[in-house]
Amino acid sequence: MFEKPFLGSLTQAHVILARGAGIFHPSVNDFEDKCVCQNHFEELLSKWNSRDFKHIIWRKNKDQTRKTACSFPEGYGINHGTQRPLSERVVTYEESEAFLKECHLLIHVDLPICRKHKDYINQYVQNNENITKSDSSSSNANSQSQQKDDTEKSDSSPSAADSESSGFVPIKNPTPSKKPQSVLPKEISEAIDTFFDVAGIERASTNIPFDELKVDTKRKKVQIFEKVMNIFAKYMAPDNPNALLNLFQKNPQVQTKISKQVDHLMTDVKDQYLTAENDSERREILAQISNSIPLKTVQEYIPNLTRYLYSRARKEAVRRKTKFKALSKKRIVIRYRKADVLLFIEFITGPLVTIHLPYGTKKTKLSSGLKINIPNTVRKYRDHEIILMFRQYLKEINREDVKLSYSTMKRILKACVASRRISLQCVDYYLANGYEVCLH
């Protein structure tokens, strides 16, 4: 595979190692006897630009044809948003290597990108070349020639005006920064390098000032520092390394920032507590911290706080953790007076509304679930007319204090089983004969 060219001067092996493992300029002897499975061969080489692997972003044009769009990762350089432009350039072998060293992000070789991202990634290549030149020249030149070289390199780097006109977001310091000088003696530095190699810990680059590093690079250095601390803790306290680490973390110099944040938090809680109007509001405020901060610490900010109120706040915090599932209690809410209901029932069962003559039977259901048959009664009017008559009746007897809603009276009429009058004949002969006399 080292003999088969694929991208210009790059062979198939160079492309597969760069895209798959981030290995650049490999030695033929190290990978001479290595093999690649068919799946990785297709994903990294033969079918790399296929839409099945989603390495490249495609864009549909107005003529329904698909073309490659800028596939540079988001968060670096210019932000295209939802509409990515068509690709005009590709990522070269050197650009992929330089971007991996600076940002610790692997970009595949030959990835289609736009012109602005091409200019953006070229800054890392120039920065890498300038650092390499400065490292090689520093061993043979004195400090004066070093300053002269740095001046020449800064003149050859792209200016801020060119960066603004290109439209991409430049790195913090486009010009090559001076390599930080180690404050440790040479013997100690060499011993630390040996320690990293023996412990199997990846050494972080020290070619760029720490303040100018990317967030991901800083985070990576923090992870390396944690690994070193764990090893030293096991060496200094082999019986209990965790106790040593915990004691180090509780050091006042380490906890200064955290202590300030807790102080701001407790001051805010104190202000809310003092402005609360009742104990219920105070309990709600204290419930936010009661499970995390002991009572003595809170009493330093709120001296008048009692143990009883703080224990109530802790109970409230426990109730919140159970998603406010408080014990359900049966409550009976009476929205009417019994005397008012009896007055309405007396009205609807009177001769003005109901014909007191049994007419068949009606099935009704008791509260116990038992169904029984009762004599049927007949009402002369509809429910709406009965309700209007009852309201007028209250005015006539000066009982406007009776407050029954329309829906309540409607439900009472529905519960009191009765039939509405349809034909007057053969139901109440006395009333029927009276109507006939009036008519004749």
Determine the average pLDDT of the residues in 64-80: 82
Is 70 exceeded by the pLDDT of residue 145?
Answer: no
Long-range contacts formed by 171-176: CB under 8 A, 24+ apart: 171/123, 171/124, 171/127, 172/212, 173/212, 174/123, 174/127, 176/126, 176/127, 176/130, 176/131, 176/134, 176/150
Q: Helix, strand, coil shares of the chain as percentages rounded to 5?
A: 50, 10, 45
Residue 89 per-residue DSSP state: E
| Mean confidence (pLDDT) of the chain | 76
Instruction: Tell me how far apart the alpha carbons of residues 194 and 159 are, in angstroms, rounded to a whole number.
Output: 41
Is the pLDDT higher at 409 or at 204? 409
pLDDT attached to residue 164: 42
Determine the average pLDDT of the residues in 111-117: 88
**Beta carbons within 10 angstroms of residue 115's beta carbon:** 15
Is 50 exceeded by the pLDDT of residue 427?
Answer: no
Is 70 exceeded by the pLDDT of residue 79?
Answer: yes
Q: DSSP string covering 363-418, please?
A: EEE-TTS-EEEEE--EESS-HHHHHHHHHHHHHHTT-TT----HHHHHHHHHHS--
pLDDT attached to residue 388: 92
pLDDT attached to residue 110: 87
Is the pLDDT higher at 297 or at 153? 297
pLDDT tens track for 391-416: 999 999 998 888 888 888 888 888 87
Is 60 exceeded by the pLDDT of residue 134?
Answer: no
Which of 149-158, 242-251, 396-405 reaches the highest mean pLDDT? 396-405
Residue 158 per-residue DSSP state: P
pLDDT attached to residue 162: 45
Determine the average pLDDT of the residues in 269-292: 88
Instruction: Tell me how far apart the alpha carbons of residues 66 and 64 are, in angstroms, rounded to a whole number.
Output: 7
Q: Are 92 and 98 in contact (CB under 8 A)?
A: no
Residue from 349, 406, 413 nearest 382 by CA: 413
pLDDT attached to residue 167: 44
Q: pLDDT band for 438, please (50, 70, 90 cuts).
A: low
Cα angle value 192/193/199 (rounded, 5°):
85
Q: DSSP string covering 306-364, please?
A: -HHHHHHHHHHHHHHHTTT-PPP-------S-HHHHHHHHHHHTSTTTEE-S--SEEEE
Report pTM: 0.34
Which two tokens mark 14? 């160079």
